[in-house]
Amino acid sequence: MGRGGRGGNRNRGGHRKPFGGGGKGKNRNSGRDTRTDSWNEVPRSNDFFEGYYRSGGFLPEDEFDEMWATLAKDLPNSFRFTGTKSDALAVREIFKQRYIPKITSIKFDGELVDPPRAVKAFPDELVWDMTTHKKVIRKHPPFAEFQKFLVAETTSGNVSRQEVVSMIPPHFLDVRPGMVVLDMCAAPGSKSAQLAEMIHGDEEERVKKAASGAPFDSEGGDYNDDGRSTGLLIANDTDYKRAGMLVHQVKRLNFPNLIVTQHDASIFPSIEIPSTAEGKRQYLKFDRILADVPCSGDGTARKNVNVWQKWTPKDGLGLHNLQLRILFRGLQMLKKGGRLVYSTCSMNPVENEAVIQAAIDQCGGTSKVTLVDCSDHLPDLIRKPGLTKWKIFDISAVAGEKKIAHNFSTWESFDKAKKKYDEEEPGRTFSSKISKDMFPILDAPEAVRIPLERCMRVYPHLQDTGGFFIAVLEKMDDIRIAQLGASGSTTATITSEKIKSSTPMDVDGTEDNKMNLDPVESARQNRSPKRKLEGAEEENATKRVRVEAGDSTNSPVDAGSEDAKPAVKDEEEDSKPTVNGTAEDADAKPPANGSVETVPDAKAPNGAFANETIKKLEPSAQGQKEYFEYLPADDPTIASIFDFFGISDRFPRDRFLVRNKEGLLLNKIYYTSELCKTVIKMNKERGMRFVHCGVIMFVAHKIREKEQLKCNWRLQDEGIKIVAPWASKRIVQCTKNETLHTLLKQFFPKLPREEPHALGEVGDQLRDLEPGCAFMNVNKNEEEGFPYDMVFPIWRHPGSINLMTDKDDRKAFLLRLYNESNPEMVNHVADKAAAKLKAEEAATEQADGDEDDENGGVKLDGLEE
Ligand SMILES: C[S@@+](CC[C@H](N)C(=O)[O-])C[C@H]1O[C@@H](n2cnc3c(N)ncnc32)[C@H](O)[C@@H]1O
């Protein structure tokens, strides 16, 4: 159970302020809280928004005041140290030792600012927040160094600037290395990054052990693939543009066990995997699923001005059905015994407890799907239990007249009230989205009661965060889910009775009972009547998405006249308003300050589609097709690269792919895990939209002396860590702090064969090496200022050497390891080196005749990629 009741006075700001105020909070400790007037011009008040939450029985009244006051304040800044454990801990230490003391002494407006604080709810001090406003950090000169550090580490992927509450759901998924995980609604990808880290686990350590031949307990971890993670993360988002953001975010992780797809999660296609020994087709089931669904986002009011301006109950009501269908699909694809976390950044029960209740109920109750009691997990996270009772809020309207807010406790009270209004005031419109399954089941016998109190509600005042909802579900048994209402959510009231009477559909992913979106495959399968039925269901589901999404973003609600007062009615069984008086007009009282909320014509709630977006999802507008062509295991180029670097035969040769239609070895070679390969190969022609997979491992080196090279493929920063433990040739050690410093600051420093050089031990080792790429290892050595193991690709040219590390990463290293005061100088040095090389290349091309490559020109390695 949650930690209800303990959150009373946890708000560090602890500040109550009238609505519409500026949101500047009281100082945390005695420091200066610089949360500023970022969007003070927008009043942080909305009568309907407040009216619903105040009257909905969410919190005791005085605690509600505290919660609401916190919601009107700016959100603290927060960030997370990411990546492998050793990198993340090392960067965290640098932050603690170098930047915290400096920040603690900074004054703003004559007062010391609040120091950053490790957020207690999360382990290992990897999550931090600070009340100093982003703008102040960006613009106030004393913060300049810290700002540089944050930017550099964010760019290089060691820091994720993520809201604290958004970090919670992955922690409840209990992901372990080797697991197969789906993130159904993943963009922009901050939670996918967390999940990917969890699937990696301590992979670096495992691989080192496996590669070195050191003994290890294969029972104690993911050792089936020589220590490499055998797990898989599929990160999905339906929106093409947002899927692009997702790719950008996860690319930095260099995670070969990750696939990004672009599908509507509510009809996510079944993924084919190799058939059973008996020849029966099989479909992938997931150990863990995250359904961080599109929601109204009213828990984000501290950072999202739209919430105050545009909140309407229509958002939550319009999204409930899509959320439910996404959750259903997730439960279908979950393994028996698997875990699914459902989350939203909304506080509205219609998007939260109501969805969970409906899903469990319609799956056949708690013997099929159960809510996990997580009270022992993340004990420092202050939370409240899920609601077991709630009201459905709606605003009815008559064109040109005042709007009325209604609270309905039961479906019957809604039904009755609506009929009454239909008779007495036929022009008054209610939301067409309200359905029976949105209401709490109030009278269930204890044996079959769904323990909704096990859901978790994180309110803003509990630990100075945004609002969030999390539910952890476990699949106890295979489930049968009936077809959802076929005509869209208007009639999609799904009851247990309906389920029982409808045709059961076993969706266990076996050959006879799967969902399949591949048009070719479907056509083949639709020859059998049963498959036809399922195919039709898929089609309907797709249509429904379009209809509903369009509806939900274009709620035709009349705003009423500006000076009319809103009324709130609590519509009980007998339709008598009990809270706000008896006569609608005369007695109903406004929830708060009495102004009228103007409901916009069209808006897209947080993460939900707008009509425009739907259009973008039509196949013709998907953008260009991405290609993933695996190379044969005996590819001669791969063989020559392996030979050049002495890569062990234990490193798989059949997991390399190229990204062009013809499968040609042009420019880049990507590496993926075995399971990614299986999934991509078996499903890319089945209509699945794969948008990203693979880590760049080798890149063709465009360089003049190509002819003299044994191997013109170079190692790449992205993939070097994966292959390094398996290499035995062309390895140099950098052991001196100053040598690394020089190599990071300079591009192409001279390394003549005979004359003296200034490149220390690395120059000595590389001097006699034939041209081409090499590994440069830097082992952890605190005394030398190397806080963790590093490995860089380095190129031996005939007369110089060069780290094959791009400008941004060099800057990040210079700041991180050397506290370089002006890492930007790298840009200047890089530009100069680029210009020089370009001039040399141009001269050579003129002499040799123009040489073209597939990039349409010569690339300046190490500078551009
Ligand atoms: C709350 S956001 C997800 C945030 C994300 N989990 C993260 O942590 O970065 C919801 C996402 O759902 C996506 N979405 C909306 N409808 C969807 C659908 N039917 N299927 C899959 N994704 C959907 C939106 O594009 C949006 O990116």
640 burial class (0-12, 13-18, 19+ CB within 10 angstroms)?
A: middle
What is the reported pLDDT for 853? 32
Same domain, residue pair 758 and 709: no
Collect all residues with Cβ–Cβ distance below 8 Å to 39 and sequence separation of at least 6: 305
User: What's the whole-number mean pLDDT along residues 55-73?
Assistant: 95
What is the reported pLDDT for 33? 54
Task: Specify the ligand 1 atom closest to the Cα of 268.
Answer: 20
Local structure of 772: helix, strand or coil: strand
User: What's the whole-number mean pLDDT along residues 141-162?
Assistant: 90
Same domain, residue pair 685 and 782: no
| pLDDT digits 0-9 by tens, 749-784 | 999 988 889 999 999 999 999 999 999 999 999 999
Pairing of strands 668-671, 107-108: unpaired
Helical axes 61-71 vs 47-55, angle rounded to 10°: 150
- Long-range CB contact pairs, 424-427, < 8 A, 24+: 425/398, 427/398, 427/399
Same domain, residue pair 741 and 834: yes
Same domain, residue pair 151 and 252: no
How many angstroms separate the CA atoms of 166 and 156, rounded? 21
Q: How many domains does the chain have?
A: 3
| pLDDT digits 0-9 by tens, 381-426 | 999 999 999 999 999 888 888 888 999 999 999 999 999 998 998 8
CA of 606 from ligand 1 middle (Å) equals 9
**Which of the two residues, 809 and 499, has the higher pLDDT score?**
809
| pLDDT digits 0-9 by tens, 303-360 | 998 999 999 999 999 999 999 999 999 999 999 999 999 999 999 999 999 999 999 9
Same domain, residue pair 742 and 862: yes
Is residue 90 a known part of a binding site?
no
Instruction: Give the up-direction half-sphere exposure of residue 275: CA atoms within 13 A in the CB hemisphere.
Output: 7
What is the reported pLDDT for 304? 93
CA of 237 from ligand 1 middle (Å) equals 6
What is the reported pLDDT for 568? 53
Tell whether the model's pLDDT for residue 273 goes beyond 70. yes
Local structure of 74: helix, strand or coil: coil
By alpha-carbon position, which residue is closest to atom 19 of ligand 1?
A: 264
What is the reported pLDDT for 632? 97
- Nearest CA among 322, 195, 201 for reference residue 246: 195
Same domain, residue pair 745 and 856: yes
What is the reported pLDDT for 595? 24
Tell whether the model's pLDDT for residue 10 goes beyond 70. no
Q: Which residue has the tokens 């994720």?
A: 160
What tokens appear for 784 in the block? 């030398």
In a domain, 327, yes or no: no
Same domain, residue pair 670 and 793: no
How many angstroms separate the CA atoms of 723 and 728, rounded? 11
Tell whether the model's pLDDT for residue 150 goes beyond 70. yes
Q: Where does 671-824 have alpha helices with state H? A: 674-683, 717-723, 737-745, 760-767, 807-818
Percent of the chain whose predicted confidence (pLDDT) is above 90: 59
What is the reported pLDDT for 66? 97
Tell whether the model's pLDDT for residue 468 goes beyond 60. yes
Domain edge (last residue) among 162, 195, 217: 162
Same domain, residue pair 750 and 855: yes
Tell whether the model's pLDDT for residue 516 goes beyond 50. no
What tokens appear for 99 in the block? 């930047």
Tell whether the model's pLDDT for residue 622 goes beyond 90. no
| pLDDT digits 0-9 by tens, 168-203 | 999 999 999 899 999 999 999 999 999 999 998 888
Q: Which residues line ligand 1 (CB under 6 A)?
A: 166, 184-191, 237-239, 242, 264-266, 292, 294, 322, 607-609
Q: Where are the beta strands (DSSP E) in 352-399?
A: 369-371, 384-385, 392-396
How many angstroms separate the CA atoms of 809 and 455, rounded? 42
CA of 294 from ligand 1 middle (Å) equals 5
Same domain, residue pair 760 and 843: yes
How many angstroms separate the CA atoms of 678 and 672, rounded? 10
In eight-state DSSP terms, residue 632 is P
CA of 128 from ligand 1 middle (Å) equals 25
Same domain, residue pair 657 and 776: no
In a domain, 601, yes or no: no
Residue of 345, 363, 455, 676 with catalytic role: 345
In a domain, 108, yes or no: yes
- Long-range CB contact pairs, 630-638, < 8 A, 24+: 630/654, 630/655, 630/656, 630/657, 630/663, 630/677, 630/680, 630/681, 631/656, 631/657, 631/658, 631/663, 631/665, 631/669, 635/665, 637/665, 637/669, 637/713, 638/669
| pLDDT digits 0-9 by tens, 435-451 | 999 999 998 999 999 99
Radius of gyration of the chain, Cα coordinates, nearest whole angstrom: 30
In a domain, 322, yes or no: no
Is residue 583 a known part of a binding site?
no
What is the reported pLDDT for 206? 87
Pocket test for ligand 1, best of 160, 237, 329, 345 (most atoms within 8 A of CB): 237
Same domain, residue pair 652 and 754: no
Is residue 187 a known part of a binding site?
yes
345 is catalytic: yes
What tokens appear for 263 in the block? 């599908």
| pLDDT digits 0-9 by tens, 344-387 | 999 999 999 999 999 999 999 999 999 999 999 999 999 999 99
Q: Considering only 65-79, 189-203, 829-843, which range has the smallest mean pLDDT?
A: 829-843
Same domain, residue pair 665 and 780: no
How many angstroms separate the CA atoms of 49 and 383, rounded? 22
User: What's the whole-number mean pLDDT along residues 688-694?
Assistant: 96
The answer to whether the CB of 53 falls within 8 A of the CB of 598 is: no
- Nearest CA among 789, 788, 737 for reference residue 89: 788
What tokens appear for 817 in the block? 């390891």
How many angstroms separate the CA atoms of 526 and 595, rounded? 57
Expressed as residue numbers, the domain containing 767 is 730-865
User: What's the whole-number mean pLDDT along residues 502-530?
Assistant: 32
Domain edge (last residue) among 725, 748, 782: 725
Q: Which residue has the tokens 């059905």?
A: 321
CA of 164 from ligand 1 middle (Å) equals 18
Is residue 787 a known part of a binding site?
no
In a domain, 599, yes or no: no
In a domain, 378, yes or no: no
The answer to whether the CB of 455 falls within 8 A of the CB of 470 is: yes
CA of 350 from ligand 1 middle (Å) equals 18
How many angstroms separate the CA atoms of 524 and 319, rounded? 34
Is residue 191 a known part of a binding site?
yes
Is residue 800 a known part of a binding site?
no
In a domain, 71, yes or no: no
Task: Specify the ligand 1 atom closest to the Cα of 184.
Answer: 21
Q: Where are the beta strands (DSSP E) in 459-610?
A: 468-475, 567-571
Distances from the Cα of 367 to the Cα of 137, 225, 450, 824, angstroms: 52, 36, 10, 60
**Which of the two residues, 841 and 510, has the higher pLDDT score?**
841
User: What's the whole-number mean pLDDT along residues 468-486?
Assistant: 79
Pocket test for ligand 1, best of 163, 182, 239, 552 (most atoms within 8 A of CB): 239
Helical axes 760-767 vs 737-745, angle rounded to 10°: 80
Task: Specify the ligand 1 atom closest to the Cα of 237.
Answer: 22
Pocket test for ligand 1, best of 184, 293, 341 (most atoms within 8 A of CB): 293
Tell whether the model's pLDDT for residue 608 goes beyond 60. no
How many angstroms separate the CA atoms of 552 and 604, rounded? 8
Domain edge (last residue) among 162, 188, 205: 162
In a domain, 499, yes or no: no
